[in-house]
Structure 1
Amino acid sequence: MVACERQLLGLALACIGFLGSIISCALPTWRIMKTFRDYEMPFSVVEGLWKRCGISPTGEMQCMGYEYMLLPADMKAARALIIIAIIIEVLGILLGVAGRNFMNFVPDERQRSKMALTSGIAFLIAGFFFLIPVSWTTNTINDHFHPTWSTSGLAHLLLKKMELGAALYIGWFTTVLLFLGGGLVCSSFFRRNGTE
């Protein structure tokens, strides 16, 4: 594959990853906690980076934003890392577009190839910044994934179960796209300079 095509494909994958990171950040379904009682329908609570929603057995959803002090520590860290990743992705996209061969923002070919390499490195760094909170949240959920039974009253059993939300699956897909896009953009730099 020609270096120009690699760079374009990498930039396209990174742009799709950018959209995925926006969606993953906005969705309120990072963690799903289902509560079962032995005599009732399940009640679910979904948690995201920005709000927590309760879903009743009838399907009615009520959401409310977090008070900053009540936001769990892992969600505070995830929120910060994902916002940093999105900012880095925007910078990577801007550098990638400016470093394209058919663009004339920078007339010097050497400077354009350096901008393309910097763009690829930015996508890889953004991928790491996105990987950390997604992995951390998944690990936290897996620690609590096994059902725990406890008694409330005399004969009522209560089961709480945590599950992965849709935003985490989108986050994993986004991470893969950012790594692939960054790798392709970086490899186009080495191929263009004849060192491959």
Structure 2
Amino acid sequence: MYSTGLEILGIILAVAGWLGVMVTCGLPMWRVAAYIGQNIVISQVIWEGLWMNCSVQSTGQMHCKVHDSMLGLPVDLQAARALVIISLVLCIVGIRSTLCFLSFVACPPFAK
């Protein structure tokens, strides 16, 4: 009984981690730069993410552009993109394989 509770807690934490990686993957704010001109009227904040660049002007307008090619990205964002995708895939594989070995779930290949 005690191990079943720990198994359920482990699966819940694994799914929460997977959801956190998914949210992190979609955020456009991996690198933030602010540009302020001579006066505050023309200030601009640039968000650089894994999949797109967004520019927010002081008027509140936001313009986003999807990256055209992977080679146009800086090396650190290319590495981050690859590592995030690898972590998403490994999370899915880990959660799926863990579900087959739980004590209260019987998968056909591993049925007792």
TM-score normalised to structure 1 length: 0.52
- Over 3 Å off, 4+ runs: none
Q: CA RMSD in A?
A: 1.5
How far residue 95 of structure 1 moved from its aligned partner, in angstroms, is 0.9
**1:79 corresponds to 2:75:** no
Cα distance between partner residues in 2 of 1:3 and 1:30: 39
Cα distance between partner residues in 1 of 2:101 and 2:9: 14
Q: Name stretches of at least 5 consecutive residues in structure 2 with no aligned partner.
A: none
Partner of 1:57: 58
Partner of 2:11: 11
How far residue 40 of structure 1 moved from its aligned partner, in angstroms, is 2.3
Q: Which amino acid aligns with 1:64?
A: K
Cα distance between partner residues in 2 of 1:58 and 1:19: 33
Q: Name stretches of at least 5 consecutive residues in structure 1 with no aligned partner.
A: 109-196
Partner of 2:101: 99
How far residue 49 of structure 1 moved from its aligned partner, in angstroms, is 0.4
Partner of 1:187: none
Q: Is the 8 A contact 2:4 2:104 kept in 1?
A: no
Percent identical residues: 32
How far residue 100 of structure 1 moved from its aligned partner, in angstroms, is 1.2
Secondary structure of 1:37 counterpart: coil
Cα distance between partner residues in 2 of 1:43 and 1:10: 44
Q: Which has the higher helix share?
A: 1
Which digits, 9 at most, give the CA deviation of each residue in 1:123-155, with x for residues without a partner?
Answer: xxxxxxxxxxxxxxxxxxxxxxxxxxxxxxxxx
Cα distance between partner residues in 1 of 2:51 and 2:111: 43
Residue from 51, 69, 72 that aligns with 1:70: 72
